[in-house]
Chain A
Amino acid sequence: KNEVEQSPQNLTAQEGEFITINCSYSVGISALHWLQQHPGGGIVSLFMLSSGKKKHGRLIATINIQEKHSSLHITASHPRDSAVYICAVLNYGGSQGNLIFGKGTKLSVKP
């Protein structure tokens, strides 16, 4: 079983829809990252969370440490949001920098 599981694997939405991507992990963590990988391959760090909630524009990330779960929400989705979204965790007590990655959620937003 993977230490970091994401759902769904693939997601197709219509422009304007509210989108939720989930990440569950089985290890104790110090931090959780959400990354966005564009169709061309480039990776952008969206959020780094250790508790609570963060918001940036139309993106919201939440984490529930007790339930070992994080969600990434996109409000008013747009075709330019089409990308792979990757969750990564830093294992508590693990060496810094050694992130464990989920397999990613491929999002396609149709106009």
Chain B
Amino acid sequence: DSGVTQTPKHLITATGQRVTLRCSPRSGDLSVYWYQQSLDQGLQFLIQYYNGEERAKGNILERFSAQQFPDLHSELNLSSLELGDSALYFCASSVGVAGGTDTQYFGPGTRLTVL
């Protein structure tokens, strides 16, 4: 158990809908990262928040947005969903801002299926 929690575990929805994925980092970790893992693209970095502020942005679509709240939990909002958004979404956390040179602890993931 990494100490990172994600909810829900599974999510099935229809095209055009909007969903919110939630992540709670390990106690004491200030950075939260979101990743998407699809069958054809593999793992891709989406976005990083550190202590409530956006710190790095990767291949995140404009239809997706995220935020980190004062209690450090984070939410990833996916809107106008398309079939291609079906994927595993992982959240990870680390102590500091330097996620590339820090150990990241991954949550169990949320499996999103868009029908």
Q: Which of chain B's residues have a CB closer than 8 A to the CB of A42? A: 106, 108-109
Closest Cβ neighbor of B106 among chain A residues: A43
Say yes or no: is A41 at the interface (Cβ < 8 Å to chain B). yes
Segment from B17-25, B38-46, B78-86 that makes contact with A: B38-46
Contact of A103 with B by CB under 8 A: yes
- Residue of B with least CB distance to A86: B43
Question: In the assembled complex, which residues on chain A have CB atoms less than 8 Å from the CB atom of B33?
Answer: 97
Is A21 on the interface with B (CB-CB < 8 A)?
no
Q: Answer yes or no: A66 CB below 8 A from chain B CBs.
A: no
Contact A94 B100 (CB under 8 A): yes
* Chain B: interface residue total (CB-CB under 8 A): 28
When distances are taken between beta carbons in the complex, the residues of chain A under 8 Å from B102 are: 48
In the complex, are the beta carbons of A43 and B42 less than 8 A apart? no
Chain A 81-111 against B: per-residue CB contact (8 Å), 1 yes, 0 no? Answer: 0000010101000111111111110000000
- Secondary structure class of chain B's binding surface, majority of residues: strand
**B residues whose Cβ falls under 8 Å from a Cβ of A:** 2, 31, 33, 42-45, 48, 55-58, 88, 90, 92, 97-106, 108-109, 111
Asked if A7 CB lies within 8 Å of chain B CBs, one says no
Using an 8 Å CB-CB cutoff, how does the interface string of A43-75 with B read, 1 for contact, 0 for none? 111001010000000000000000000000000
Using A30-B100, A41-B88, A44-B2 as known contacts, say yes or no to A96 and B55 having CB atoms under 8 A apart: yes
Q: Judging by beta carbons under 8 Å apart, are A90 and B109 in contact?
A: no
When A30-B100, A50-B101, A90-B100 are in contact, do A98 and B106 touch as well, CB less than 8 Å?
no
